[in-house]
Amino acid sequence: MREIVNALLYQGRTGCQWELLPHDFPPPGAVKYYFCTWCDDGIGQTIHGLLGRQMGEMARRKADPGLVVLDAARSW
């Protein structure tokens, strides 16, 4: 399963087509199947949230930030 997640992260980062995933990942059809299944079930959002919290903990940030800054400046 970790290799499926790695392939999905690679595809999301590079934007490559499913068929052009490197050969060291699982078959493209399997990766796309899990992507579609997880999106339909909402599991993709759960994985995204868990990875985000894990990265925050590694960077020694609070799991749920108390302050969010949005930049709404217009450049026109």
pLDDT tens digits, one per residue of 18-30: 999 999 999 999 9
Does some domain include residue 46? yes
Does some domain include residue 34? yes
Does some domain include residue 67? no
DSSP at 20:
G
Task: Please give the Cα distance from 10 to 60 (Å, whole number).
Answer: 25
Task: Please give the Cα distance from 58 to 53 (Å, whole number).
Answer: 9
Does some domain include residue 63? no
Does some domain include residue 73? no
Looking at the structure of the chain, the number of domains it has is 1
What is the average pLDDT score of the chain? 83
Does some domain include residue 70? no
pTM (predicted TM-score)? 0.62
Does some domain include residue 11? yes
pLDDT band at residue 45 using 50, 70 and 90 as cut-offs: confident
Domain residues for the domain of 16 are 2-58
Does some domain include residue 43? yes
